[in-house]
Amino acid sequence: MVWTVLLALTRCCEMKFTYQEEIPDIGPEEVFDWHERPGALERLTPPWGNVEVLSRSGGIRDGGKISLRIKQGPTSFRWDLMHRDYVHGRQFRDEQISGPMKQWSHTHSFLPSGSSGTRAHDEIEMEPPLGFAGKALGPVFVKNELDRLFGFRYRRLSNDLARHRAYSDKKRLTVAITGASGLVGSSLRHFLTTGGHKVISLVRESSEVREGCVFWDPSTGVIDEKGLKEVDAVVHLAGAPIAAGRWTEARKRSIKQSRIRGTDLIARTLATMENGPRTLISSSAVGFYGNRGSDILNETMPVGGGFLADVCEDWENATVPAERAGIRVVKLRTGIVLSPQGGALGQMLLPFKLGAGGRLGSGTQYMSWIDLDDLIGMIYHALYEGSLSGVVNATAPTPVPNAAFTSALGRVLGRPTVLPVPSIAVKAVFGELGKEALLWGQRAIPQKALSSGFKFFSEGLEDSLRFQLGRMD
């Protein structure tokens, strides 16, 4: 809908751009309904942008309003838009009320295509600031940026619609999420709401409790059980960040306790509820396997050594009360989640963009990765696939050595990757964290997910990086 880079980079007079995408087997009204649900704006906003939704009201119908804050380096812009020309199942338009543009209008149209498909058509008319300045180069640059942004948008839209369509014959779910404001949790929340599902966020501050929220406090063992009575499933993602700093003894206790206490509270609560959620999807990590070199690791492999392995083992064992009560428990051993919004990739981007990226240590350690959108899709798959339970490796089928990961990221960014970081330097800077999280590796394979019929949409590492970073040309 609204794209951050346009604010800083457009430099010519009146411009008009059109884009369209064919969406097979899904009709215009279904595609339109997706856009009308909460979370659509967030799903359509590229992850490399820096957009904050300040307020919204009235949906996409005539008179509906959105206020955004767009950050560009040290500066930020407020952008206020109003929706007009709403025709249910057919079109809507967003028009600038106030903001950095002289004029902005974006018409979204959804037209029949073939016997059962949709042609999504976008038309943008704009008049950027600065008038004549940059008139010669502006249109070309803006066109390139819009191509990048709409390429991402249409791919995500098509993928999301396909995932929802796979379970369109099933009832819509009410899903409670811990860690709903985090990288994975927020993406999952918006994905679910655009599919017509209801999301309940578990929050730890009483001041944050409002409609759609349930209070819980793992540190005191308190949870509002009544708020979970109408919930079909719980997705438990909360936990202190692993890589927020060197692992002091206090930091290690915090990491471990944040996972065990929260998981134990959720599992014991669900186990005692008569009519509560019957599915629990709980996070874990491939760190469970320890340092396993090039060994191929499916879900049957035993626990490895090291702090992370100990944490993951206790983390997973904390779900036992729910399992014993007959609740279906899925324990997702997640790899490196690829998104520029956070996690390992988010931390790597700056040095790699500056041309200072390179392999870590020998570069032979395997990195089990997963595209953020595929992880969201796997969680969704697990919500519905009743035969899926126990440990599930939430990783792409193609883990790669660190050196290969480094090279792929450099190619996508168009930067050299010739500055390796010696193992001794990694250990000196990061200590135990560096050894286990950066120099150790796991070659995990999602055997159970594939056997259950789950389909990955990212075809490989470079494809995922290009999608998430908007470099698909």
**Cα gap 260→313, rounded to integer Å:** 10
Specify the 3-state DSSP secondary structure of 82. strand
| Angle at CA of residue 41, ends 40 and 46, nearest 5° | 110
Give dist(CA 393, CA 338) in Å, integer: 15
Question: Hey, what are 376's tokens?
Answer: 């969201």
- Angstrom distance (rounded) from CA 3 to CA 470: 12
5-165: CATH architecture: 2-Layer Sandwich (3.30)
Residue 55: partners with Cβ closer than 8 Å, 6 or more residues away: 65, 66, 67
Q: Under a CB-based contact definition with an 8 Å cutoff, are residues 362 and 423 in contact?
A: yes
How many angstroms separate the Cα of 47 from the Cα of each of 77, 186, 323, 339, 467? Answer: 18, 12, 36, 7, 10
Do 122 and 106 form a contact (C-beta atoms < 8 A)?
yes
Q: Could you tell me if residue 410 is left (phi over 0), alpha (psi between -120 and 50 degrees) or otherwise beta? A: alpha
Q: Helix or strand or coil: residue 121? A: strand
Indicate whether 133 pLDDT > 70. Answer: no
- In this prediction, residue 84 carries a pLDDT of 97
Report the pLDDT averaged over residues 312-318: 98
Question: How wide is the angle at C-alpha 48 spanned by C-alphas 351 and 209, nearest 5°?
Answer: 115
Task: Answer yes or no: is pLDDT of 130 > 70.
Answer: no
Residue 453 gets the label, from left (phi > 0), alpha (psi -120 to 50) or beta, of left
Domain boundaries, the chain: 5-165, 167-469
pLDDT at 52: 86
* The predicted structure's pLDDT at residue 357: 94
pTM over the 0.85 mark: yes
Is the pLDDT confidence value at 134 over 50? Answer: no
**Do 321 and 271 meet the contact criterion of CB atoms below 8 Å apart?**
yes
Sign (positive or negative) of CA dihedral 144, 77, 128, 85: positive
Give the integer Cα–Cα distance in Å for 339 and 406. 15
Q: Say if residue 264's pLDDT is above 50.
A: yes
CATH 3.40.50.720 fits 167-469, yes or no: yes
For residues 340 and 440, what is the distance between their CA atoms, to the nearest angstrom?
23
How many whole angstroms separate alpha carbon 231 and alpha carbon 238? 18
Amino acid at 447: Q
Q: Give CA 149 to chain center in angstroms.
A: 17
Rounded to the nearest 5°, which phi and psi values hold at 401?
Answer: -65, 155
Q: Which residues pair with 98 in a beta bridge?
A: 80
Residue 132: predicted pLDDT: 44
Judge whether residue 311 has pLDDT over 80: yes
What is the rounded CA–CA span in Å between residue 403 and residue 418? 10
**Pair of tokens at residue 127:** 């008049």
**pLDDT band at residue 450 under the 50/70/90 scheme:** very high
pLDDT of residue 3: 45
Say yes or no to pLDDT of 292 above 90: yes
pLDDT digits (tens, 9 = 90+) for 344-392: 999 999 999 999 999 999 999 999 999 999 999 999 999 999 999 999 9
Block residue for tokens 């010669």: 136
* Average pLDDT rounded to a whole number, residues 91-97: 97
Query: What percent of the chain clears pLDDT 90, i.e. is strictly above it?
Result: 84
Residue 42's pLDDT is: 94
3-state secondary structure of 56: strand
What is the rounded CA–CA span in Å between residue 166 and residue 13?
45
For the chain, the first-to-last Cα distance in angstroms comes to: 21
- Which residues, in sequence order, are bridge partners of residue 333? 284, 393
Buried b (16+ CB within 10 A) or exposed e, 198-212: ebbbbbeeeeeeeee
Which pLDDT belongs to residue 14? 74
Q: What is the mean predicted confidence (pLDDT) over 328-335?
A: 98
Contact (Cβ atoms closer than 8 angstroms) between residue 373 and residue 404? no
Q: What is the mean pLDDT of residues 316-329?
A: 98
Mean pLDDT of the residues in the chain = 92
Q: Where are the alpha helices (DSSP H) in 97-231?
A: 138-166, 183-194
Q: Give the angle subtended at the CA of 257 by the CAs of 253 and 260, to the nearest 5°.
A: 145
SS (H, E, C) 254-309: HHHHHHHHHHHHHHHHHHHCCCCCCEEEEEEEHHHHCCCCCCEECCCCCCCCCHHH
d(CA 331, CA 203): 22
Dump pLDDT digits (tens) for 186-223.
999 999 999 999 999 999 988 888 889 999 999 999 99
Residue 245: what pLDDT? 86
Supply 414's token pair.
Answer: 């168009």
Cα torsion angle, 252, 255, 259, 262, sign: positive
Q: Give just the sign of the alpha carbon dihedral 137, 140, 146, 152.
A: negative
Q: What is the mean pLDDT of residues 450-468?
A: 97
What type of residue is 426? V
Q: Give 403-419 pLDDT, tens digit per residue.
A: 999 999 999 999 999 99
Cα–Cα dist 22/363, whole Å: 41
